[in-house]
Structure 1
């Protein structure tokens, strides 16, 4: 079954990544989400119509009920084909599984079809100016006013909020509550009065991250996923889905970047420098270690701290690759031709954020120290 699945997918990608979609190869991704956005959305719809989206969702919810193995195959083959970055990944890979696990039947019926068909796009409302890596410090509030929640607060680093129709928001619904208590997981429409999105210009010059201001924005009373006050548990489940099988596809992309960098080092002669040659070799070994750890993590029903280890490993590896790219390019790395960044300069600049977003290195180490090694907990306010 696995071999047939791989061959079918490989053939479909080869057949469809041409014509109107030929220019999409390699488009999008971190720091490049602006590239061919509308065409990539149409590509996502084409994938969905052909049955290549929502693979891991149960059949009764419109998915294929694919095994973990086949999902890994999909992400590896998709990346190997240099297919474009998905615009629907937040809805399909984060919110969809969360609704399947915790949502009501009414919520599932309302939102899952729109995610599958790429008709409604989503963003994630977690981080705040005072609650980034320390997510439990969330201060955005939601209070009931009749049959609606009134949401007030600020979110930051909200990926693709400027394109999203809805946002899943972690908000404090119990006045006076602290830390993980009194939080709820709300589904909030973005296109309404009281919601303002402000782009954040990054080092790369692009603006896929945003600030989102909620000023008495509203959503229906039944738009709480899980129980009121149980938002922390639901939010952590969403983060676990974020670190799922897609990481294997991400690593295929890393392998392609490393191969291109080795080729560049050979063409420029930089590989004759023993220090650079040694670092390139270590990067290749690091990729193999990364893959082995990811496969082991995926084989466990509850990866727990191993997800934190995975984040530490890939984030630091990718950041180091960006630094190595600058070393390989030498003096040319500090010059932007006509003010435009090349692929290596963009990699170097954007990968500086890898060790911060999705849970900073400091937070991942704290999780490992406290929950695995049993070290004393850090003082908290």
Structure 2
């Protein structure tokens, strides 16, 4: 049996490894069009590789996928997060969980994961070809596929596993459309919010707020978690989660909308008002800047006081009722105009790809073309940041490789 794996990323490598492990007599080849393999693994997680997530319950784990969670449940029944941890650790790669659930190799180096995958490919005698682009793929009526490379050379394969990753442009899927597959139009799924008009906010670049709530005005979209101020505007887990769940709606809005930030971590008006009254009474002789009603970074507090035009040197005893109301409002309902987005390059993910109704997730085989299998982000599956996209790659790759025939 000859199997072609198209794509040398996480899903492609894992599919090839699974295929060769389950079918030792098969000839398995990985074809990567670029000069580098596992490029996304290298840069993910700030160069540490966020392998999976420590979220224990599978039902809870699946909630972190804006698209594909019901289908992925089938793949996870064959290979889930615990299988991932065991797979890497049985090959000498110890993983650790951080407080937010993200799991990394204890080396904090993505090269550890890359070396493990490459060593396994070499050990199993999987053939690896780089700079090997495929120009045409023709299914044979009697089964199998004729693959034509850009060099004009052709080869025959019994099965093909497509693991080409997500494409930011629709035409990146044209070759799959030509084979009869329906494609869900791709749009960005993880991105930061550009806020070009707020230069004073962007001057806080690098500031992290541990717990905030972000809402898209005029919609029901809301997420909580850490926020990071960047030189573009707002990023961090809360923003990235919001961009993932709202990927299509925000695309339809042309990335022009108003975002509302609750810097008080979800505290409501009644709770915050009590805090403001308390600090104004107990710290009445202190300057506003030196006595915060809630625990926010000093730089943010200073910025918010400027934003509502309240002199930071005013003592709390002299703060008028209307100014206290403005303090409450800016902490609970701070509003910014978002104009555009910036790709979160480390975790570049697209929403869209091969329509999930055309794939059997028990086998990862195409319902249109027997012998063609799919793995990873080429499918209309995506997770939020935190190791979920890699877990989808390991799980679908494992199943596709095992069942490819």
TM-score over 0.5 for the pair: no
- With the shorter chain as reference, the TM-score category is under 0.3
State the TM-score, normalized to the length of structure 2. Answer: 0.22
More helix by share: 1
Point out which structure has higher relative CO (alpha carbons under 8 A, 6+ apart).
2
Higher strand share: 2
